Amino acid sequence: MTRMNSTFTTIGMFVVLMLVMYFMMLRPQKKQQKARQEMMDGLSRGNEVITIGGLHGVIDSIDRENKTVTLDCEGVYLVFDIPAIRNVISKTAAVTPEVKPEVKEEVVETVEEIVEEKPADKE
């Protein structure tokens, strides 16, 4: 009978160890995965992001079918896989193109007339 008690105790300790491991390791990891997936699903044009390589940029376009994102990094457009996005710095609702007011420039041309004097003929 003592042998059965020690077997149940060993199995019980193993089950408790597995439960502790689940609550300490696996469950928080699943929460992190869920939060990351929500971040990836929430990506939109105009978001400022950081890639896993540390590159900062603004999302120009997202191709969900091919799972790629095009970043505008100060005028240089780079294509990355969506999982390469590490963090979203700021979210913008919608990107509106900047409208620059028309500036009319007057072009003033000056024409200088060069007159050459002809030497007088000696008669």
Mean model confidence pLDDT for the chain = 81
> Residue 91 has what pLDDT?
73
Residue 118 lies in a domain: no
Q: Are residues 79 and 33 in the same domain?
A: no
For residue 55, give its domain range. Answer: 44-98
Across 7-55, the runs of DSSP E, i.e. the strands, are 48-51
Q: Are residues 37 and 55 in the same domain?
A: no
> Do residues 34 and 26 lie in contact, with contact meaning Cβ atoms separated by under 8 Å?
no
Tell me: the pLDDT tens digits for 25-72? 888 888 999 999 998 888 899 999 999 999 999 999 999 899 999 999
Q: Are residues 64 and 35 in the same domain?
A: no
CA distance 43 to 61: 10
Q: Are residues 82 and 53 in the same domain?
A: yes
> Residue 94 has what pLDDT?
46
